[in-house]
Amino acid sequence: MSRLNRAPLIDAALGRTPSRPPVWFMRQAGRSLPEYRAAREGISMLDSCFMPELLAEITLQPVRRHDVDAAILFSDIVFPLKAAGVKVDIVPGRGPVMEQAVRSREDVGKLPLLETDVPEVTEGIARILAELSETQALIGFVGAPFTLASYLIEGGPSKNHERTKALMHAEPETWHMLMRRLVPTITRFLQVQVDAGIDAMQLFDSWAGYLNERDYREFVLPYSREILAGVNIPRIHFGVGTGELLPAMSEAGSEVMGVDYRVPMDAAAERVGARVLQGNLDPAMLFAGDAAVRQAVRTIRGEVDRARERGDIDGHIWNLGHGVLPTTDAEAITRAVSIIHEEG
């Protein structure tokens, strides 16, 4: 039995009627919060993910402050690589940087696999669950294999993913070998979270929106599908700039599809197989004042209602259409959550 009792997020994810409109924000835990900046002082991002008490504290900060309906496990897309022994660091202002890029069959063959438990995360999750109420869900997360592959091949964050796409097209066998090598590590890290008691999970494919649908289907979809197929809790799937990919991403299999802020929710509903959508307030709106946020929330609400009336979807989880920007005023976030609870 789940420790949850009528948690709005889980109800919405399963197509039941939630007691209030569930809302959480991607990157709700992070640099927008002064208490996060204080807690992380002098501790590197990836180190903090291996410190159970700090991990729990950071995950819980936005739940306490904003009254959101879910905590999202504080972690990073490259965390399972680090846990497996890959030499990677998160460089402030830049992102994950690899000591060595992975560009050949030999490199792929040497890529370490995550085959152990990750007790720090297990303990961190236990601490989080102990503090959440029975209506607050804990969402776990893993990065999708395409996004991880891009970091590995490019050696760090890339604006154009040219080496990644070149490897795909010039050496498809090496590409598929890399994807097959990443899946067990991601699956393992997800299983660690499931075993520790997360209530739902999100597969983040941050960079998928840089692919066209053809390439996504051939080089990415089978592997994301395999990861999602392995879990029996509510699944959310999200990528940025994925308007063209929603039908294909849908086929990876998830109860919930996250929608980028560029795609109207009623248009998204027509493109996906999922019965529940998540999204899609533009994170920049949190800079525009409460009146503008209220107006935007009403517009999204109208789109969602239209999609429901047409029978395209059964539910909606409120979120941004991308992550909280680090310079967002923490109080504006709290007020946006409250506006959504009123208007959503």
Out of 261, 266, 271, 304, which residue is the one contacting a copy of itself (CB under 8 A)? 261
List the one residue from 90, 282, 319, 344 that touches a copy of itself (CB under 8 A). 282
CA gap 153, 147 in Å, rounded: 10
Would you call 214 a catalytic residue per the annotation? Answer: no
- Please select the residue that binds a copy of itself; options are 39, 51, 267, 330, rule is CB under 8 A: 267
User: In 3D, which of 68, 79, 20, 69 has the Cα closest to residue 46?
Assistant: 79
Any contact of residue 243 with a copy of itself (CB under 8 A)? Answer: yes
76 is catalytic: yes
Annotated binding residue 322? yes
Answer yes or no: 94 catalytic. no
Q: Is 27 a catalytic residue?
A: yes
Which residues in 207-236 contact a copy of itself (CB under 8 A)?
209-214
Q: Is 31 annotated as a binding residue?
A: yes
Least separation in angstroms between CB 208 and a copy of itself: 11
Q: Tell which positions 169-188 bind a copy of itself, by CB under 8 A.
A: 169-170
Q: Is 113 in the site for a copy of itself (CB under 8 A)?
A: no
- From the candidates 69, 76, 205, 260, give the one annotated as an active-site residue: 76
User: Interface with a copy of itself includes 133 (CB under 8 A)?
Assistant: no
Q: Does residue 40 have an active-site annotation?
A: yes
Residue 331 as a binder of a copy of itself (CB under 8 A): the answer is no
Chain contacts with a copy of itself (rule: CB under 8 A): 160-166, 168-170, 209-214, 241, 243-244, 261-264, 267, 282-285, 287-289, 292, 295-296, 299, 322, 325, 327
* Residues recognised as catalytic: 27, 31, 40, 76, 151
